[in-house]
Amino acid sequence: MLEVEGITKAFPGVVANDDVSLTLNQGEIHCLLGENGAGKSTLVNMVFGLYRPDQGTIKVRGEEVHFEDSGDAIARGIGMVHQHFQLIPVFTVAENIILGNEVTKGAFLDLDSARRQIDSLAERYGLAVDPDATVGDLSVGEQQRVELVKALFRDADILILDEPTAVLTPGEVDDFFGVVESLTGQGKSIIFITHKLREVLAVADRITVLRAGQVVGTATAEGATQQSLANLMVGRDVVFRVDKAEADPGAPVLRTQDLRVADDRGVETVTGFDVEVRAGEIFGIAGVEGNGQRELVEAICGMRPTAGGRVEMLGQETTDWSPRKINELGVAHVPENRSKHGVVAQYTIADNLVLNRYHHRKFSQRGVRNTGAINAEAQELVEQFDVRTPGVDAVIDTLSGGNQQKVIVARELTGDLKALVVAQPTRGLDVGSIEFIHRKIIELRDRGVAVLLVSAELDEILSLSDRIGVLYRGRLAGTVNAADATREELGLLMATGSSEGQR
Amino acid sequence: MTTVEHAVGATGASGRIGLNRQSITGLVFGLLGIALLAGVAPAISGNSRRFNFEPPPDPAGIGFHPPTWVVAIGVLFLLTAVLGFAPPEARRWASPARLLSALAVIPLLLVLSLALSDNPSTNIVNLFNESLVLATPLALGATTGLWCERSGIINIGIEGTMLAGAGIGYMTYATIGDAQSTGWLWFSILISVLAGGLVAALLAVLSIRFGVNQIVGGVVINLFALGLTGFLRSEVIVKTGITTGVGTSEFGLPLLSEIPVIGDQLFRGKPIYWMMYLVVIGTWLVMFRTPWGLRVRSCGENPHAAETLGVNVVRIRYQSVILGGLIAGLAGAWFSMESQTRFEDNMTNAAGFIALAALIFGKWTPWGAFGGALLFGFSRALGTRLQFLGVEVSGFEIPSEFLQALPFIVTLVVVAGAVGRSIPPAAAGQPFQRSK
């Protein structure tokens, strides 16, 4: 169906794709695997006409093509579901789907017949969508279905799915795989981009691994293992199991009692949360996103007013303290929203590294910053935390997500810590960075820090935590010892709030 | 806004009373209601007044007793205030009540000003018609803004675009038509429209091609138009010696203008005034019912999404901004060839900025923007009317400048509470770079 031969694409300063070749057969799921920045997205953006290659050829059904824009690619039957959905939140589902390919009656839009076409597509491929719903009101899973229908509406036979599962809950991922199977069953061919190894092995027919813009290996699903793929991706042996000693918990450090918190709309999403995290243990909070995780973390760290209950740290009540006061107790926070709460995008790496300490005597005297001391400290942290950067005076926005996260972790993990609250610490990061950050968290625990870990990645929770609580509708549905926990049991708790599986 | 939102959160969660917009609005209406009942109603004259529906002599109309009206509106305000704090089941009535109260401000202003004046009557049909006519440039300007912002370009150069249309149009009319011939009048109106399009094209090139900050681009347009038209006036128009002439003339709509009493007042008007309605209706149809309109809106919300679907964002933005400019040019022609037949420096007198306010007030929809324009048109008409009525408070005549400003202030404050927050197109003001 599709042949990519010897594609090279350079951006100022980087060669994103270097002589990359790839073929896609009809009815096949071809996985494109690689770390962040390996060039996966660049490659498919060229196939979809958003970028133009510097060298090399693209053939669709044996015919060489030169796309000027994605309209050309769409006309050749290529559809793409982007990692960040390309939807217009204030439009209805039908309007989003027909945009650019409008169904008309005379000079006017014909939304009635568009609706009928959408309904019939939805039925044929098992993609339930309501054409009249406003997209902004839909869940992430539903939005993804809209994206798929959008591509199918344009008669795409070649579907490019860019990290489609990154935003889905475990249950939604299973549904999604079902949809993918039914698509290939009806003759569609799929390029599936991901860096999750489990998924690759679950769905792929063939696998191409990219590293630093080059193809480093091609495999069939039968011959591959998670370990072999990971080694190919990273270019060295990857340790999967996080090695850690038995926890040695001490005194309680962080405690909440009947904590209640409201979200931005005023709806109470944390509805009576009790937890006790002790020194030297990692308490993992699992749960489907949107069950109050964000509000819980923000309330504990002083970023959001509580609506009731109390928070205690190190024996003092800290309910509704300011973030700085809580921070100065020795409580660090790695926030979920990296760009909004984690870094100041236009500041340098050095300034970002001292955001929580710039006012200390060491870094400023009489209201004047001591840039020498700040840069020296930054230099040391950059080396210690292996931040890949041209220098500490680079603007942090120029770094990759993984390196930005390392900067945040470096900043938060420095100092005399008693407790650490981390939310989604490795979201969107590649295998290498994940491994590194996990090791740091374990190190901290071994030094006697109490860690509260919130993550949507069940694997992360399972491999790091000593105890695991499942957050369901704003309260703990159950707490288990990590050693005894199984994916199945946790999955059931996450989905239904009860280990018996009744609602 | 952030603090207010936090307060909403607190109220919703725990039932604590926080200061959100609803409760502030309720409070304002409550205080106004108490003031009306306890302070104003007993104080104003109990003499009967009349709203006339046609010009003298012997007009049709209705007589009324001002304190009764003041009491009735005061009770409505109090009710609105109470509903704002009512238990949740009754809350669903709160929002219509707020709207009703906001609308009641208009009769309240009329009743009060008549009660405080030494004139016993005034013609309100004619006041309404004046409001519509004065709304013409505002509605056209707001439609200009609508086309630009819905496509993602913030246009604060509407004022300058209108002014350029007004000046260049009148200059054409004076130089080649001696400001006397109907044929040249229409040709000059066309020139106004094209001039508007050209000025907007300049903004489009600045903001789309060169990625200049759109606010700065708009300011440049305004300053440029002010200087250019001032120059053309003193160097061309004044030198022709033709400072005024024959403008567009009124005509009545068939049948409708035959309606007794109101027909002749409401359904007679000049051509650009009538075109304003066509522009608003046409804008609504094209923007919300055609494929091209759908694409325009997508460019203002998420241009990258539009691009992935093969929509040519750059072209759509050029088209919309220039279309908007053509409409602003027509508004300019209204100033110099319909409302008056002459050109003065800075003749548009901030209408372009008020049009932007009307657009925001109308939440970026054609009918909302028209409503906003009508409201500001009414404020202007009422301000003028109040001067004629000679409103006095305890023997002291209120200065006319204050009277002109008063309706704007009152309507804005009250309606801000009733209309609430409006959300602009998500990508308005963001330059768009095509992928490479």
Q: Do A267 and B304 touch (CB under 8 A)?
A: no
> Does pLDDT of A419 surpass 90?
yes
Q: What confidence score (pLDDT) does residue A503 get?
A: 41
Rounded to the nearest 5°, which phi and psi values hold at A396? Answer: -65, -25
Average pLDDT across chain A, whole number: 88
CATH 1.10.3470 corresponds to the domain B127-382: yes
Per-residue pLDDT band for B403 (boundaries 50, 70, 90) equals confident
- Is residue B149 within 8 A of residue B300, CB to CB? The reply is yes
* C-beta atoms of A45 and B435 within 8 A: yes
Distance from C-alpha of A280 to C-alpha of B186, rounded to nearest angstrom: 85
Residue of A nearest to B294 (CA): A99
The two tokens of residue A391 are 């220098």
Higher pLDDT, A357 or B57: A357
Are the C-beta atoms of residues A124 and A183 closer than 8 Å to each other?
Answer: no
**C-alpha to C-alpha distance for A91 and B426, rounded to whole angstroms:** 12
Using CA atoms, how far residue A181 sits from A12, A160, A177, in Å, is 39, 14, 6
In this structure, are strands A282-286 and A467-472 parallel, antiparallel, or unpaired?
Answer: parallel
* Cα radius of gyration rounded to whole Å, chain A: 24
Residues in A closer than 8 angstroms to B9, CB to CB, are: 262-266, 305, 307
Which residues of chain B are within 8 Å of residue A150 when distances are taken between CB atoms?
309
Residue of A14, A90, A271 for testing the chain B interface, max B β-carbons within 10 Å: A90
| Chain B residues touching residue A268 (CB < 8 angstroms) | 12-13
Take residue B215 and report the two structure tokens written for it. Answer: 């606010």
Contact B290 A107 (CB under 8 A): yes
- Residues composing chain A: 503
CB-nearest to B291 from A87, A104, A268 is A104
C-alpha A54/C-alpha A213 separation (Å) is: 14
Task: Identify the band that residue A57 occupies on the pLDDT scale cut at 50, 70 and 90.
Answer: very high
Buried b (16+ CB within 10 A) or exposed e, A87-104: bbbbbbbbbbbbbbbbbe
State which H helix or E strand residue B432 sits in. none
Chain A residues close to B11, C-beta within 8 Å? 266
Task: Sort out which chain A residues have CB atoms less than 8 A from B305's CB and list them.
Answer: 85-88, 99
Pairing state between β A2-11 and A14-24:
antiparallel
Strands A158-162 and A189-194: parallel
pLDDT at B222: 96
- Give whole-number Cα distances, B223 to B144, B145, B332, in Å: 19, 18, 16
CA distance linking residue B390 with residue A495, whole number of Å? 72
pLDDT for the residue B411: 67
pLDDT of residue B274: 95
Q: What's the pLDDT band for A196 if we cut at 50, 70, 90? A: confident
For residue range A376-417, list pLDDT tens digits in order. Answer: 999 999 998 888 888 888 888 877 777 888 899 999 988 889
pLDDT surpasses 50 at B5 = no
Judged against a pLDDT cut of 50, whether residue A186 lies above it is answered with yes
B89 or A148, which is more confident: A148
- Reduce the DSSP state of residue A451 to 3 states and report it: strand
Sequence-distant (6+) residues with CB within 8 A of A4 are: A20, A21, A22, A23, A43, A47, A56, A57, A58, A59
**Positive or negative: CA dihedral A92, A93, A94, A97:** positive
What is the Cα–Cα distance from B158 to B148, expressed in whole angstroms?
10
Q: Which of A325, A304, A303 is nearest to A314 (CA)?
A: A325
- Which amino acid, residue A237? D
Instruction: Tell me the mean pLDDT in the region B155-169.
Output: 96
Q: Are A304 and A394 in contact (CB under 8 A)?
A: no
- Averaged pLDDT, B315-320: 96
Rounded CA separation A418/A415 (Å): 10
Distance CA A169, CA A291 (A): 12
Contacts of B312 in chain A (CB under 8 A): 69
Per-residue pLDDT for B10 more than 50? no
Q: What is the mean pLDDT of residues B332-338?
A: 96
pLDDT of residue B2: 36
pLDDT at A502: 46
C-alpha B278/C-alpha B257 separation (Å) is: 18
What residue ranges in A77-201 does DSSP mark as E strands? Answer: 78-81, 104-105, 108-109, 158-162, 189-194
A-chain CB neighbours of B301 within 8 Å are 88-91
**Residue B238: C-alpha distances to residues A95, A313, B230, B348 (Å):** 54, 80, 11, 19
pLDDT at B4: 36
Q: Å from B320 to nearest chain A CA? A: 17
Distance between CA atoms of residues B196 and B159, nearest Å: 10
Are the C-beta atoms of B155 and B218 separated by less than 8 Å? yes
Kindly tell me the number of DSSP H helices and DSSP E strands found in chain B.
19, 7
pLDDT digits (tens, 9 = 90+) for A94-130: 999 999 889 989 889 999 999 999 999 988 888 888 9
Cα A98 to Cα A110: distance, rounded to the nearest angstrom: 10
What's the CA gap between A154 and B305, in Å, rounded?
A: 15
Supply angle C-alpha B87, B92, B93, rounded to 5: 95
Chain A residue with the nearest C-alpha to that of B425: A90
pLDDT of B20: 65
**Closest CB from B11, B285, B308 relative to A82:** B308
CB A473 within 8 A of CB A288: no
User: Domain map of chain B by residue range?
Assistant: 20-116, 127-382
Specify the 3-state DSSP secondary structure of B247.
coil
Closest by Cβ to A100, choosing from B6, B304, B311? B311
Query: pLDDT confidence of B15, banded at 50, 70, 90?
Result: very low
pLDDT of residue B14: 36
Is residue A479 over pLDDT 60? Answer: yes
* Residues of chain A in Cβ contact (below 8 Å) with chain B: 45, 48, 50-52, 69-72, 74-75, 80, 82, 85-91, 95, 98-102, 104, 107-109, 150, 260-268, 305, 307-308
pLDDT at A1: 86
Q: What is the dihedral of CA B160, B373, B402, B335, to 10 degrees?
A: 40
B268-269 and B251-252 strand pairing: antiparallel
The ipTM, to two decimals, is: 0.81
Residue of A nearest to B9 (CA): A266
Query: Helix/strand/coil (H, E, C) string of B325-381?
Result: HHHHHHHHHHHHHHHCCCCCCCCCCCHHHHHHHHHHHCCCCHHHHHHHHHHHHHHHH
CA distance B289 to chain A (A): 5
Beta-carbon separation of B307 and A305 below 8 A: no
Which residue among A51, A99, A308 sits closest to B298, beta carbon to beta carbon? A99
Task: Determine the residue among B91, B149, B309 to mutate to test chain A binding: the one whose Cβ has the most chain A Cβ atoms within 10 Å.
Answer: B309
Full 3-state SS string of A241-254? CCCCCCCCCCCEEE
C-alpha B61/C-alpha B53 separation (Å) is: 5
Separation between Cα atoms, residue A284 and residue B312, nearest integer Å? 48
Distance, in Å, from the CA atom of B335 to the CA atom of B192, rounded to the nearest integer, reads 11
Most confidently predicted of A135-139, A274-278, B375-379? A274-278
Inter-chain touch B309–A99, beta carbons under 8 Å: yes
The alpha carbon of residue A399 is apart from the nearest alpha carbon of chain B, in Å, by 20
The nearest alpha carbon in chain B to A111 belongs to B289
**Interchain CB distance below 8 Å, A74 and B309:** yes
Q: Do B426 and A89 touch (CB under 8 A)?
A: yes
C-alpha span between A29 and A176 (Å, rounded) = 14
Measure the CA–CA gap between A263 and A474, rounded to whole angstroms.
Answer: 11
Nearest CA in chain B to A269: B13
B51-60 tens-digit pLDDT: 888 887 778 8
Residue of B nearest to A304 (CA): B6
Q: Determine contact: B436 vs chain A, CB below 8 A.
A: yes
User: Does B312 reach chain A within 8 Å, measured CB to CB?
Assistant: yes
Q: Which residue of B has its CA nearest to A83?
A: B305
Residue A273 has pLDDT above 90, yes or no: yes
CA B228, CA B207: separation in Å to the nearest integer? Answer: 21
CB A283 within 8 A of CB A466: yes
CA distance A200 to A226: 9
Residues A94 and A115: their CA atoms lie apart, in Å, by 6
CB contacts < 8 A (A, B): 107
Q: Which residues of A touch B285 (CB under 8 A)?
A: 108
Torsion of CA B155, B159, B164, B165, to 10 degrees: 90
Helix ranges, A245-348 (H): 293-300, 323-328
> What's the mean pLDDT in A130-158?
90
Is the Cβ pair A266, B12 closer than 8 Å? Answer: yes
User: Is B392 an interface residue toward A (CB < 8 Å)?
Assistant: no
Is the Cβ pair A109, B306 closer than 8 Å? no
pLDDT per residue as tens digits for the range B192-229: 999 999 999 999 999 999 989 999 999 999 999 999 99
Distance from CA of B318 to the nearest CA of A (A): 17
* Selected residues 67-126 of chain B with any CB under 8 Å from a CB in chain A: none
Q: For A235, phi and psi rounded to 5 degrees? A: 90, 10
Report residue A150's pLDDT band, with 50, 70 and 90 as the boundaries: very high
Least confident of A123-132, A471-480, B3-12, B13-22: B3-12
Q: In angstroms, how far is the first alpha carbon of chain B from the final one? A: 38
Instruction: Check A261 against B305: CB less than 8 A apart.
Output: no
> CA nearest B427 in A: which residue?
A88
- Sorted by where each starts, the structural domains of chain A and their CATH numbers stand as 2-234 (3.40.50.300), 240-330+416-503 (3.40.50.300), 341-415 (no CATH)
How many angstroms separate the most distant Cα atoms in chain B? 75
pLDDT at A272: 92
Residue A151: closest C-alpha in chain B: B309
Nearest-Cα distance to chain A for B292, in Å, is 9
Look at residue B225 and give its three-state secondary structure: helix
Q: Which of A80, A260, A264 sits opposite B5 (nearest CB)?
A: A264
pLDDT at A15: 82
Across the interface, of A48, A51, A85, the residue whose CB is closest to B436 is A51
Answer for the pair B372, B359: CB distance below 8 angstroms, yes or no. Answer: yes
Structure-token pair, residue B19? 């200061």
Quick: pLDDT tens for A82-101.
Answer: 888 899 999 999 999 999 88
Read off the pTM. 0.78
Categorize the per-residue pLDDT at B11 as very low, low, confident or very high, splitting at 50, 70 and 90. Answer: very low
ω into A390 cis (within 30 of 0): no
